[in-house]
Amino acid sequence: MTNIRFTLTALLFTTALTCAVPASSHKFGQKTGSNSASPSADTSQMTPVMDGGAGPCSLDLSVTNDGKPAVAAHVRVHIAYGFAGVRKLDLDAYTGNDGKLRFTGLPPRVKNPPLEFRASKEKLFGTAVFNPEFECHAKHEIALVPKPADNN
């Protein structure tokens, strides 16, 4: 009886090792296919993604300055959602080399719509408004301009 149990344990262990080895070699970044160079692998065109994890909606932002992509522009948003707005979410991220940024996982309903996505870079500012209740998956552009001086 002990001999059968030992044989079954050894067989199970060998099977587990055989299945785990190919998965672990792929996990550490070894390329298995011959199609390793693809156009989507270009790191200069990768759009940063900020996932809020609060819902199905998303917003693609394109931030520009004088018609050119604004690289590394800081974009932030404050979101209050849920029953009576008790859940709060503050997201911020920077645009990529193409001036683009994607926010995903946004809630479909917010307490005080629309949401204001504020972008800034050095002394330039811009805002985009987004109401996820009417446009759950949207694309907007923010044109950065100098902040007007306050004359008091």
| pLDDT band at 148; cut points 50, 70, 90 | confident
Contact 66, 126 (CB under 8 A): no
Per-residue HEC secondary structure of 51-89 comes to ECCCCCEEEEEEEEECCEECCCCEEEEEEEECHHHCEEE
More confident residue, 61 or 34: 61
Cβ proximity of 50 and 129 under 8 Å? no
The reported pLDDT for the residue numbered 85 is 86
Average pLDDT in the chain: 79
| Opening angle at CA 126, ends 56 and 109, nearest 5 | 25
Tens-place pLDDT, residues 46-98: 899 999 999 999 999 999 999 999 999 999 999 999 988 899 999 999 999 99
Show the tokens assigned to 131. Answer: 């109401």
Rounded Cα–Cα distance for residues 68 and 104 (Å)? 24
Residue with tokens 């902040």: 147
What is the residue extent of each domain of the chain? 45-146
Find, among 41, 33, 59, 30, the residue nearest to 119 by Cα. Answer: 59
Tell me the residue type at 45: Q
One-letter amino acid of 116: E
Check whether 29 has a pLDDT greater than 70.
no
The model's pLDDT over 88-147, given as tens digits with 9 standing for 90+, comes to 999 999 999 999 999 999 999 999 999 999 999 999 999 999 999 999 999 999 999 998
Class at the top of the CATH hierarchy for domain 45-146? mainly beta
Name the token pair of 3.
């001999």
pLDDT of residue 151: 63
Does residue 26 have a pLDDT over 50?
Answer: no
Judged on CB neighbours under 10 Å (0-12, 13-18, 19+), 83 is exposed
pLDDT of residue 149: 72
